[in-house]
Amino acid sequence: MDTLARKKDPSAPVKRDHIGNRIDFSPCSGCNIHEMALCQALSCHELKGLSAIVANIEVAKGATLINETDQAEFLFNVTQGSVKLYKLMPDGRRQITGFLFPGDFLGIALNDRYAYSAEALEATKACRFPRKEMEGLLREMPELEHRLLSMVSNELVLAQEQMLLLGRKTAQEKLCSFLKGLYDRRVKRFPGTSSVPLPMSRSDMGDFLGLTTETVSRTMTNLKKKGVVALPSKGIVNVVNYELLSDLAEGV
Among the candidate windows 11-19, 56-64, 203-211, 228-236, which touches a second copy by CB under 8 A? 203-211
- Residue 20: CA count within 13 A, CB half-sphere: 5
Using the minimum distance from each CB to DNA, give the nearer residue, 55 or 220.
220
Task: Tell me: does residue 32 bind a second copy (CB under 8 A).
Answer: no
Task: Tell me: does residue 94 bind a second copy (CB under 8 A).
Answer: yes
Nearest by Cα to 73 from 107, 50, 106, 27: 107
Instruction: Say how far apart CA 39 and CA 4 lie, in whole Å.
Output: 18
Instruction: Say how far apart CA 176 and CA 156 lie, in whole Å.
Output: 21
Give the shortest CB-42-to-a second copy separation in angstroms: 15
Give the shortest CB-25-to-a second copy separation in angstroms: 27
Here's the x/- map for DNA, 133-172, by CB under 7 A: it reads as -------------------------------------xxx
Using the minimum distance from each CB to a second copy, give the nearer residue, 77 or 97.
97
Instruction: Say how far apart CA 131 and CA 137 lie, in whole Å.
Output: 10
Nearest by Cα to 35 from 116, 133, 102: 102
Among the candidate windows 18-26, 133-141, 185-193, 230-238, which touches DNA by CB under 7 A? 230-238
In 67-116 the beta strands, taken as DSSP E runs, fall at: 74-80, 83-88, 94-100, 105-106, 109-110, 113-114
Task: Tell me: does residue 251 bind a second copy (CB under 8 A).
Answer: yes
In the chain the beta strands, taken as DSSP E runs, fall at: 15-16, 22-24, 55-59, 64-66, 74-80, 83-88, 94-100, 105-106, 109-110, 113-114, 117-120, 124-130, 195-197, 229-230, 236-239
Task: Tell me: does residue 243 bind a second copy (CB under 8 A).
Answer: no
Give the shortest CB-166-to-DNA separation in angstroms: 11
Here's the x/- map for a second copy, 53-72, by CB under 8 A: it reads as --------------------
Give the shortest CB-144-to-a second copy separation in angstroms: 10
Which residues are at the interface with a second copy (CB under 8 A)? 85, 87, 89-91, 93-95, 97, 108-110, 115-116, 138-139, 142, 145-146, 148-149, 152-157, 159-164, 166-169, 207-210, 250-252
